[in-house]
Amino acid sequence: MNEEEIIAKYQKKLKSNISMEDVEGYSPTTFSREYQRFRKDSLSTGRNLYENACNNLEDVLRIKVKDKDYDKLKESIDIIHLDITPEGAASFASFVSLFVIFIGLFLSGFIWVITGEFSFTILILFLFFFFVGALLLKPLTSIPNYIANKWRLRAGNQMVLCILYVVMYMRHTSNLEHALKFAADHVGNPLSLDLRKIFWDVETGKYSTIKESLDSYLVKWRDYNLEFVEAFHLIEGSLLEESEDRRISLLEKSLEVILDGMYERMLHYAHELQNPITILNMLGVVLPVLGLVILPLIGSLVQGSGAMKAFVLFLLYNLFLPTFLYLFGTSVLAKRPTGYSEADIIKKNPKLRKYSYIILPIGNREILFHPFWVGFFVFLVVGFIGLIPLLMMLSGIDFSFLGMNVVNMTSVDGKNCSFGENCFGPFGPGSVLFGLFFPLGLALGIGTYYRLRSKNLIALRNNIKNLEKEFSGGLFQLGNRVGDGVPVEVAFNDVAQNMEGTPTGDFFRTVSYNLQRLGMSVKSALFGSNGAIRMFPSSLIETSMKVLLESSKKGTAIVAKSLISISTYVNRIHQVNERLNDLLSDTLSSMKSQISFLSPIISGIVVGISTMIVTIIVKLVVELNVQSGGADSVVPGNLAAIAGIFSISNIIPSYYMQLIIGLYLVEIVIILTLLSTRIEHGLDSLQEQYNLSSNLFSSSILYFILAVIVTVIFTFLVSSIVPTSSASFN
């Protein structure tokens, strides 16, 4: 027998033992192209612009990085597969920081030229942009570190699934290379890209074997996820075992090691999360909103235009503070461990996409109407009412409301005036009441959009969640039936009958119907165009059925062991998540109460109090100007100096204050809703949309009602103050 015959003989023998289509079609060249294409696809969203900016700015403005930061940046860049250098990241950060400082300088100079005077507010504006630009330098330089940390966390959430795939494959085929490829084809981004990189390093000659390349990759995780490293070392150790029982035992031990490690991470995460959430609530929500109470008084004492101060407050409260809170919250919550990610049911089954639209049946046709336009229409109708005071101010129209003018534009000497030079406002409480409709319209518009987009899908999503909760029991039954020698096709029907009336029973009945009535293969019954996975789009179920499908090619005993292992895995994940929710119940309760009534109540009261303070200051300044301006009146003592302390031009109009508070409330509700949903459900975009719609409706309406009541009450109190006559000063 010559060499070619020997090779052909063993090739035939290998094919009989390894019948997986993806393994049979494997070739180093094909996988190299897959890695390049996969890298391009996975990094194309939101990163090419950053890469191009870093590379281009490095040629123009090359900034040297400190040695202690260089190595960390280089490691992060390699981990996330970015095509930049540490110098490029530093150049990008320096350019953005200088650009922010330049914007501040330009705005300050522009306002100086327009107003013709250099005020304290202009200086504050420039210093604000200067410090923001300076503070941005370090975080922007560390962008690769932040992306790498997020990459590690996302990859860490897939590591249990990765070990499960490798163990399931190596249970019937003791081949590390093929097991890694099987995991890379199914685990998903970003860990899939890392696994492909292991093959890439071998094919490019960096390492001589898969084991050597894998060990080098695992070194990077030693300080971040030691149990993942230990699990793979146990898997590698199973390759050296001659006894089949000891080999299987090591594989099972590797899965147990990483599951126990994930459980410990969950416990540590739950304990470490409580303090950051408390800080988030106090420093990000309660104190900033309460601080707005005294801002009208402080702002009236500080020299500078009131409108300019309102602009600075808008930048601080509606731009920088929400951005900081969101980044701080996501950086904390991104550490949430999980065993499997939530499924995008539209991505799993594109036919369900139509249910995210408004379906208008016309005859035999269905017209799909995008919910954005309904939400935008709600915002225009309700929000337009909030702009009425501005239109009245520009047109010079005004009328009395609650004993005071609605717009109440006032000149420096305290007289009513129309919009133009040396005329300031609107200071009227009526403008505040009208202005409340703008944040209400914004919240109702966003809430309407998300409610219409999610209401048709949330029932299906909840059904899938219920299915996932009880799916482990169905898998265990299925594994036992197959282990008893029952064919997989018959076992599906048996389990469906045993679990009739449950979501899991519906899933298995769908599979059984496809098999027996439609004559499909097991693969088509599960993953075909009319497969059960299309009807029940769940990552957990899809993963389980893929393992079943592949292991079925090795016999019923392998299928039974695989399904029971997956059942154990699902049970452990469920137990860990339940324990996590129990530990985080106080934190979740605090965040939900903050969303539902604390923030709206505090904000509504603050609007009423700030309106009262501004109204009192304006009335005081007007009365003092009138008394001191009379020919026969003499203002004794220090009362005349009060008019000089409180200048009409320095007062922040209550209308703008209300807009800032209302917009901040909408942003806070959105941020806290996203964070609380991710704590409780993980990354579930559909649940986030549904919760956003509910919270925006309830919070904005409560804020609107309370702000109206408090403002009207305080306005009556202020209007009941009888102006002091000139005789009382004589």
Residue 69 scores a pLDDT above 70: yes
Exposed e or buried b per residue across 312-334, where buried means at least 16 C-beta atoms within 10 angstroms of its C-beta: bbeeebbeebbeebbebbeebbb
Give the three-class secondary structure for 405.
strand
Most confident option among 38-42, 569-573, 656-660, 676-680 = 656-660
Most confident option among 61-70, 172-181, 219-228, 434-443 = 434-443
Mean pLDDT of the 217-240 span:
89
- Separation between Cα atoms, residue 601 and residue 702, nearest integer Å: 7
Q: What percent of the chain has pLDDT over 70?
A: 83
Give the three-class secondary structure for 347.
helix
Most confident option among 5-19, 28-42, 557-571, 650-664 = 650-664
Mean pLDDT of the 454-463 span:
81
Round the average pLDDT of the chain to a whole number and report it. 79
pLDDT of 22 reads 43
Q: CB neighbours (10 Å) of residue 297?
A: 16
Burial degree of 272 (CB within 10 A; 0-12, 13-18, 19+): exposed
Q: How many CA atoms, within 13 angstroms, populate the side-chain half-sphere of residue 271?
A: 5
Q: What are the residues whose beta carbons fall under 8 Å from the beta carbon of 164, sequence distance 6 or more?
A: 255, 543, 547, 565, 566, 569
Mean pLDDT of the 323-335 span:
78
Mean pLDDT of the 158-187 span:
83
- Separation between Cα atoms, residue 545 and residue 524, nearest integer Å: 12
DSSP designation for 416: B
* Token pair recorded at residue 147: 């992306």
pTM: 0.74
